[in-house]
Structure 1
């Protein structure tokens, strides 16, 4: 298994554990390095802020779910193209980018999210 394969598997396992299984603390403990740099403007920097945010989301949106559509890995980065389902709210198409340290731990995160709307000027879909 290459480092790209390992990092991709770890990014998916991290995301699944914190989002689908609602265990952000365990996800941080297993898959995150010494620091966690966050670029999402809705989440503060650091491990504790991440845990607080996703524990709140788990309580507010029970049954939320992410489906991994595709992945891309290059150098120390892994990109996950995801379909997020939020009960009682909009669904989202998302791109999450994770940077890994040399030990294979996540140390930085970026994301962009787009509401999945009903109208489209084409028949291609978001996935």
Structure 2
């Protein structure tokens, strides 16, 4: 798979899971294993599905915007802007590793809430 295909697939995978179809996302974009580094999500395929199904049930009106996508080697990085109920907003940076078959096999992320006030006029994305 090319870097461009991996970038397209990382966005499609995350979007599908975030919008309520984590099982379909796993079936289409993930290989036989999924190593999870987010401490709030259980390791493995089922841990991912359970987490995103719970998020969809608890917060069906959340939204996500993909601000940028960067690929290098077998890694893809996504920079997103998430809005949750009550206008609770977050910036996330997600990193996905792809296996030799072009399937996602590992994930890391960093999440930061967007504060109401900033010491500068720049956005976080």
- The equivalent residue for 2:84 is 86
- The equivalent residue for 1:99 is 97
- The equivalent residue for 1:19 is 18
Pick the aligned partner of 2:57 from 43, 56, 59: 59
TM-score, normalised to structure 1, is 0.95
Pick the aligned partner of 2:113 from 112, 115, 120: 115
TM-score, normalised to structure 2, is 0.96
Deviation, structure 1 residue 70? 0.5
- The equivalent residue for 2:48 is 50
Distance 1:121 1:12 in 2: 31
Q: Deviations over 1:56-95 (max 9, x none)?
A: 1100001111100001101000000000111136210000
Q: Calculate the aligned-residue CA RMSD, in Å.
A: 1.1
Would you say how many aligned residue pairs link Structure 1 and Structure 2? 125
Distance 2:35 2:95 in 1: 12
Deviation, structure 1 residue 118? 1.2
Distance 1:54 1:36 in 2: 14
Distance 1:89 1:65 in 2: 10
Distance 1:39 1:5 in 2: 24
